[in-house]
Amino acid sequence: MQEITSAEFEQEVISGGKVVLDFYSTECPPCEAVAPKFEGLAALYGKDIKFVKMFRQQNKPLAESLGVRSSPTLLFFDNGVQLPVTLTGGIKRSDIIHQLDSMLSKERVLEIKKAIKPTVSEFDVLILGAGPGGLTAGLYLCQAKVNTVLIDIALPGGQVSTTHEVSNYPGFIDPQPGYMLSHNMSEQTKQCGTIYKVAVDVTKIDLEKKEVVIDEFETVRAKKIIIATGTSPNLMGIPGEKEMKGKGISYCATCDAKYYGDKEVVVIGGGNSAVEEADFISRFASKITMVHQFDALTANKQAQEKLFANPKTSILFSHEPRSFVREGDKMITEVEDLKTKTVSKLASDGVFVFIGMKPNIDLFRDKLELDNWGYIKTNEDMQTSMPGIYAVGDVISKKYRQITTAVADGTIAAIAIAKELN
């Protein structure tokens, strides 16, 4: 693995051969999540494809000239030519593999895959998801001497690690940077001795067999499973969103707001996340236009008052985005006035989308009893409808989704399981 600068780009990337280039940033949890996958794949594919990385903040002009607008972004080159696929955001290991495989012959791919040996490991408890809920369950189980593994598709910390400030977690007088709070939670659980398998691809989950396959070849079995997979941001699902994701459209202010210094930004949404994140983005951007479908914000009063007092921010009420297009340097958001039905264009340098969340249950959707909104139903011990399967945190059916409530759920599940295993 080689770290290069813009000055070495010609020689290391363009001069020939097959190359994958990772543009990363600091204080960027998705970059940290991709780093171990990138390194692991470098060990597998390194004889055929050169793996290099570049610090985006210090090589901004080159990054921009290559169309890189968020971190991390992986670009692929073959004999000096940039390939059309760009991977960005929460990059999956399988997405990288798919692209790397397409750059090699079928025979060579088979040889590389043959070198991987399947493994099986066994634990008392397997926790899926290392956010506050999963980390707390891991801590309590570890302290109860229960052999526990924590599996996450990203780095530990969950949503807290991408929240710029947390002011309502008890025990801290001053607001805490989200990444620090999640880092401390994770270190506490790790230092106790819980096994971590993070930044992996979860290939398959078999709740009946209590078995999870990660990174295609590693099977992890347990007597009990705790699902703590949290929620993910909803997408708008309108034309241009998929194409511009990571190239002008972002879902993470902590990751990307710093790239909009003195620039104009559109923020979509009007709930707590949208309002709080707009406030954070205004530390960098010169102007923020919020687009909200209702005629009043739904965020709490305190957050609203702060936003209304911010001279950089204006709000388009009763408007909904219809499409995103790029015109030169500008992102054009077409918005419809829901009252007059007229469509107008908003030009900006970037768009942030905060329109609510959905539960992360894709790999076991049909196996468990869910509520009308797709959240997992549990009893007071956090047990789901399937024996031996527990669920905690934002992924379960409940009224209030906060760090404190996730932590409480994790505590309850862990104590209940520890007692049962005894």
DSSP 87-132: EESS--HHHHHHHHHHTS-HHHHHHHHHT---EEEEEEEEEE--SH
Q: Looking at 54-62, 123-131, 318-326, 366-374, which segment touches ligand FAD (CB under 6 A)?
A: 123-131
In whole angstroms, give the CA distance from residue 30 to residue 24. Answer: 9
- Contact string (CB under 6 A) for ligand FAD, positions 352-371, x = contact: --------x--x--------
Q: How far apart are CB 242 and ligand FAD at their closest, in Å? A: 20
Of positions 72, 89, 133, 270, contacts ligand FAD by CB under 6 A: 133
**Is residue 337 among the annotated active site residues?**
no
- Contact string (CB under 6 A) for ligand FAD, positions 271-310, x = contact: --x---x---------------------------------
Of positions 29, 30, 72, 393, contacts ligand FAD by CB under 6 A: 393
Q: Is 13 in the site for ligand FAD (CB under 6 A)?
A: no
- Contact string (CB under 6 A) for ligand FAD, positions 30-69, x = contact: ----------------------------------------
Q: How far apart are CB 229 and ligand FAD at their closest, in Å? A: 4
Q: Is 238 in the site for ligand FAD (CB under 6 A)?
A: no
**Is residue 256 among the annotated active site residues?**
yes
Written as six digits, the tokens of 218 are: 């590693």
Residue bearing tokens 């020689």: 11
**Is residue 255 among the annotated active site residues?**
yes
Q: Is 153 in the site for ligand FAD (CB under 6 A)?
A: yes
DSSP 358-413: EE--TTTTTTS-B-TTSPBP--TT-B-SSTTEEE-GGGBS-S---HHHHHHHHHHH
In whole angstroms, give the CA distance from residue 132 to residue 127. Answer: 12
> Which residue in the list 31, 215, 255, 394 is annotated as catalytic?
255
Residue bearing tokens 């707001």: 257
In whole angstroms, give the CA distance from residue 18 to residue 47. Answer: 10
- Contact string (CB under 6 A) for ligand FAD, positions 167-206, x = contact: -x---------------------------------x----
Of positions 129, 246, 270, 359, contacts ligand FAD by CB under 6 A: 129
Burial class (CB in 10 A: 0-12, 13-18, 19+), 386: middle
Applying CB under 6 A, what is the total number of residues that bind ligand FAD? 33
Find the helix or strand (DSSP H, E) in which 308 lies: helix 301-308
- Contact string (CB under 6 A) for ligand FAD, positions 78-117, x = contact: ----------------------------------------
E-strand stretches of 228-342:
231-233, 249-250, 264-268, 287-291, 313-316, 319-327, 330-337
Of positions 30, 230, 269, 350, contacts ligand FAD by CB under 6 A: 230
Find the helix or strand (DSSP H, E) in which 61 lies: helix 60-65
Look at residue 17 and give its three-state secondary structure: coil
Written as six digits, the tokens of 250 are: 């972002």
Q: Is 231 in the site for ligand FAD (CB under 6 A)?
A: yes
Query: Which residue type, as a one-letter code, is found at position 1?
Result: M
In whole angstroms, give the CA distance from residue 151 to residue 354. Answer: 26
In whole angstroms, give the CA distance from residue 409 to residue 422. Answer: 20
Q: Is 134 in the site for ligand FAD (CB under 6 A)?
A: yes
Q: How far apart are CB 40 and ligand FAD at their closest, in Å? A: 17
Write out the catalytic residue numbers.
252, 255-256
Binding site for ligand FAD (CB under 6 A): 128-134, 151-154, 158-160, 163, 166, 168, 202, 228-231, 273, 277, 360, 363, 393-394, 401-404, 406
